[in-house]
Amino acid sequence: MNDALQQELASLRAERDTLRAQLGRAESRLGLFREMANRLRSSMRHEEIARNLAKSVQQVMEAEASAIYLVEREGDHLVTWIHTDTATREIRLAMGEGIAGWVALNGNSVNIKDAYRDDRFQRQFDEASGFRTRSVLCQPLRELGGRVIGVVQVINKTSGDYFTVEDELTLGTVNALVSAVIYSNNSYIELLDNKMALEETESELRASLAHLNLVFELQQQITGARDAEAIVGVIAERMARTFDCRGVSIFLLDGAASQEYTWTEDPAHIDRLVRTSRTWDSTVRDGVIASGKPRLIHPPSTSNELIGSAGRKRAATDVIESMLVVPLTDGDRIFGALELVNRRTPRVVEKGRRVGFSGEDLQVSRVVASDIGALIARSLAERQTRVDEQMAAMGRMMSGVVHDLKSPLGVASGYVQMIVKSDDRARREQFAVAIRSQFELITRMTRELLAYARGETNVFYRTVHMHAFADELREQLGHEMDSAGIEVTVTTHYRGDAQFDDGKLKRVLFNLARNAREAMVEGGRYDVEFTREGCELVIRCSDTGPGIDPAIQDRIFDAFVTSGKPGNSGLGLAIVKKMVDDHHGRVSFISQPGAGTTFEIRLPLEPPEQRHEQAQLTA
C-alpha cells in the first residue's frame, strides 16, 4: 500500500515539474511576444521590421537561425536582410526560388526534417557560409485579404532534431501578429507616399503655371526683336524681376563669336538694370557649360568680383554673395549659360542668416532656361539662315566666275615653267617666280572660295597619332615661315591618339599660320601647342604680330571680312570656323594691339557618334 502511494506521489511530482517547465517556457514565449510586439510597433522601415522580427522569432522558436522575407511591391521577388557587426546585406529571391520562394509562390507551409533531402533546398548558402542546415519550418505571411506579403523561416530546432506540430502552431501565432503589423505599416507607408505625391504634384502644377505665364510673357515681349541682343535684353530684365536679383548675365556660344551680355543694378536707380561691359569670373559658368549641370552658390566670395570695376563706384554686384548658373540648351545642345547674381531677398537660411537663392529657384530657372534657350536659338538660327541665304546667292554667282578662271590658270602655270628654261635665265626666272606666286595666290583663293560657296561639310575621321602629326606640321610650317624670317615652334604635350580629318585640320592650321605670316611683315615668332583637357584636344596658335584690329574683332570669322591686306579673299578665318564647326569643335581668339594674337581650337577626341555609342553601352 505504501509502495503504491509512493509511486503515485512520484508520478504527481514528475507531472508537476513537467507542467512547471511548460509554464516557464510559455511565460518566456509570452514575454518574447510582448517584446516582439513592442519592437514591431516602434519600427517603420521594412528592413527594421524584418531584423527585429527575425531576432524574436529565433528566440521564441528555439531555432539556430531565422529569416523574414518580404514580397517586393512588384510581386516577383522576395527580399530579406542579413545583419553583421559592420554591414547589412540584402538578399533577393525570385518567387518560386528555394524553399522560401516556393512557400511564397504556393502559399503553403512546409516543415522539413532533413533539408538536404528536399529538392527545393539551395545548398550554396551553406557552402558559402559553413553553416549546416538540418530542419526547416517555413510559413507564409498573409494580409487580411489573404494575399501573401512575405515568408517567415526558422532553421534547426535547438531542443530537438526537428520542429514539431506544436512549433507549427506557435509560429502560426507569431505570423498573425507579424502579418497585422506589416499590413498596417504598408498601409501607413502607402498613405505617406500618396500624401507626398499629392504635395509634389501640387508644387509641380504651381511651378508649371508660373513657368507657362513667364514663357508666354517673354514670347509676347520679344516678338519683333531684331537681333539676339534685343532678345537677351528682354529676357535679362524679366529674369531679374522673377528672381529678384541684382545682376544678370547671358553668355552665348554663338558660333565662333561667343557673346556675353551683362546687366547690373543701376546705382542711381536700384529698381532697374543697365547694360555693362564688365563680366564676372567665368570659372563657374564654363564648368556649367562643360558639364550641363546647374550650379547654386551662396557663400560670400571675395574672389568672384566683377572684372573691370576699378576706378568706378562699387555697385551691389561688385562682390558676388550668391550666384545661380544654369545652362542654356536647345534640345541636347548646350550653347550658353544664364547667370543670376545676388538675390535681393535671400531665401536660404545658413548659420543663422539668410543668404542666396533656393533650390526651388534653381529648379524653376532650369526649366525656364530650356525655353529661353529655344527662343534664343530660334533667333540665332533665323539670323544664320539669312547669312546662309546671302552666302549661297553670292556663292552661286562666284562659282561660275571662279570655274572659268581654272583653265587659264593651268595654262599660265605651264608657260611659267617654259619661261624659266628660256634665254636671259636670271631675269626670266625672276619674272617666273613673281608670276607663279601671284597665280598660286589666285589658285588658293579660288579653291577656298569654291569650297566655302558649295558649303562642303564632309569630314573624314581617322585615327591620328599626335606626335607624328605634330612632327609633319613642324616641317611644313618651317618651309612656309622661314622665308619670312619667322621662327616656328610646335610643342606636343599630348602624344596619344585623336580622331579627326587630318587634311581639313591642316588647312585650318595653315590658314591661321598664313594670316600670322602676313601680319608679321618684319618677322617674329609663331608657336603651335597641342594638349589634352578632359575629352578635348586643345590647339593654341600664337604669333607676335601687331594683333587684330579691334574694329573687326567681333566679325573676324564672318565671310569677306579683311584687314585690308592685298590679295586676301576674306575667307581664311571663315573657312577655319566652318571646318572646326564640322568637327563639332569650337574656335576662339585673344588679341591685344601690339601684343600678338592667340587662336584656340577645341576638338572632341572622338567623333560624336562614337561617344554616343559608348554612352549607350555604358548605360
Q: Do 223 and 135 lie in a common domain?
A: no
- Which residue pairs, CB below 8 angstroms and at least 24 apart, start in 103-110? 103/138, 103/139, 103/140, 103/151, 103/153, 104/69, 104/71, 104/78, 104/140, 104/148, 104/150, 104/151, 107/140, 107/142, 107/148, 108/140, 109/137, 109/138, 109/139, 109/140, 109/168, 110/136, 110/137, 110/138
Q: Do 166 and 231 lie in a common domain?
A: no
Buried b / exposed e over 237-270, threshold 16 CB at 10 Å, is ebbbebbebbbbbbbbbebbbeebbbbbbeeeee
Lowest mean pLDDT among 185-189, 245-249, 282-286, 489-493: 185-189
Residue 414 belongs to a domain: no
Among residues of the chain, what percentage have pLDDT more than 90? 18
User: DSSP string spanning 383-420?
Assistant: HHHHHHHHHHHHHHHHHHHHHHHHHHHHHHHHHHHHHH
**pLDDT mean over 402-423:** 54
From CA 40, how far away is CA 185, in angstroms rounded? 9
Lowest mean pLDDT among 181-195, 243-257, 298-312: 298-312
Query: What's residue 191's pLDDT?
Result: 74
Dump pLDDT digits (tens) for 175-195. Answer: 777 777 677 766 766 777 777
Q: Which of 62-71, 456-465, 470-479 has the highest mean pLDDT?
A: 62-71
Q: Is the predicted pLDDT of residue 239 greater than 80, yes or no? A: yes
Residue 10 belongs to a domain: no
From CA 343, how far away is CA 356, in angstroms rounded? 6
Q: How confident is the model at residue 567 (pLDDT cuts 50, 70, 90)?
A: very low
Higher-confidence residue: 217 or 512? 512
Query: What's residue 497's pLDDT?
Result: 92
- Cβ atoms of 585 and 478 within 8 Å: the answer is no
Nearest by Cα to 320 from 309, 305, 310? 305
Nearest by Cα to 270 from 295, 244, 294, 288? 244
Query: What's residue 403's pLDDT?
Result: 41
Query: What's residue 78's pLDDT?
Result: 92
Residue 86 belongs to a domain: yes
Higher-confidence residue: 455 or 311? 455
Q: Do 81 and 169 lie in a common domain?
A: yes
Q: Do 145 and 277 lie in a common domain?
A: no
Q: Give the CATH number of the domain where residue 231 resides.
A: 3.30.450.40
Query: What's residue 321's pLDDT?
Result: 79
Q: Which of 207-221, 472-486, 488-502, 567-581 has the highest mean pLDDT?
A: 488-502
Query: What's residue 217's pLDDT?
Result: 75
> Domain boundary residue among 143, 175, 190?
190
Q: Is the predicted pLDDT of residue 164 greater than 60, yes or no? A: yes
Q: Do 235 and 315 lie in a common domain?
A: yes
Higher-confidence residue: 378 or 124? 124
Q: Do 150 and 256 lie in a common domain?
A: no
Q: Helix or strand or coil: residue 198?
A: helix
Lowest mean pLDDT among 159-168, 300-309, 463-472: 300-309
As a whole number, the mean pLDDT across the chain is 76
Q: How confident is the model at residue 315 (pLDDT cuts 50, 70, 90)?
A: very low
Dump pLDDT digits (tens) for 598-609. Answer: 999 999 998 876
φ/ψ bin of 98: left (φ > 0), alpha (ψ from -120 to 50), beta (otherwise): left
Dump pLDDT digits (tens) for 530-550. Answer: 999 999 999 999 999 999 888
Residue 333 belongs to a domain: yes
Q: Do 184 and 264 lie in a common domain?
A: no
Residues 6+ away with beta carbon under 8 Å from 188: 44
Q: Is the predicted pLDDT of residue 299 greater than 60, yes or no? A: no
Q: Is the predicted pLDDT of residue 139 greater than 90, yes or no? A: yes
Q: Is the predicted pLDDT of residue 399 greater than 80, yes or no? A: no
> Domain boundary residue among 333, 350, 380?
380
**pLDDT mean over 145-161:** 88
Higher-confidence residue: 177 or 352? 177
**pLDDT mean over 440-445:** 58
Q: Which amino acid is at 515?
A: N
Query: What's residue 58's pLDDT?
Result: 82
Query: What's residue 207's pLDDT?
Result: 63
Residue 106 belongs to a domain: yes
Residue 2 belongs to a domain: no
Residue 198 belongs to a domain: no
For cell 573687326, name the residue. 552
By CB atoms closer than 10 A (0-12, 13-18, 19+), residue 547 is: middle
Q: Is the predicted pLDDT of residue 397 greater than 50, yes or no? A: no
Q: Do 365 and 461 lie in a common domain?
A: no
How many domains are there within the chain? 3
Query: What's residue 492's pLDDT?
Result: 93
Q: Do 102 and 28 lie in a common domain?
A: yes
Dump pLDDT digits (tens) for 272-281. Answer: 667 776 666 6
Q: Give the CATH number of the domain where residue 471 resides.
A: 3.30.565.10
Among residues of the chain, what percentage have pLDDT more than 70? 66
Residue 605 belongs to a domain: yes
Higher-confidence residue: 333 or 18? 333
- Cβ atoms of 337 and 326 within 8 Å: the answer is yes
Query: What's residue 538's pLDDT?
Result: 95
Query: What's residue 27's pLDDT?
Result: 58
Query: What's residue 311's pLDDT?
Result: 35
Q: Helix or strand or coil: residue 451?
A: helix
> Domain boundary residue among 357, 380, 403?
380
Q: Do 246 and 174 lie in a common domain?
A: no
Higher-confidence residue: 299 or 488? 488
- Per-residue 3-state assignment (H helix, E strand, C coil) for 265-299: EECCEEEEEEEECCECCCHHHHHHHHHCCCEEECC
Q: How confident is the model at residue 452 (pLDDT cuts 50, 70, 90)?
A: low
Query: What's residue 57's pLDDT?
Result: 80
Higher-confidence residue: 437 or 175? 175
Q: How confident is the model at residue 308 (pLDDT cuts 50, 70, 90)?
A: very low
Lowest mean pLDDT among 57-61, 231-235, 313-317: 313-317
Q: Do 182 and 304 lie in a common domain?
A: no
Q: How confident is the model at residue 286 (pLDDT cuts 50, 70, 90)?
A: confident
Per the structure, the complete domain to which residue 558 belongs is given by 457-616
Q: Do 463 and 590 lie in a common domain?
A: yes
Higher-confidence residue: 376 or 159? 159
Distances (CA, A) of 601 to 126, 311, 367, 506, 590: 62, 35, 31, 13, 12
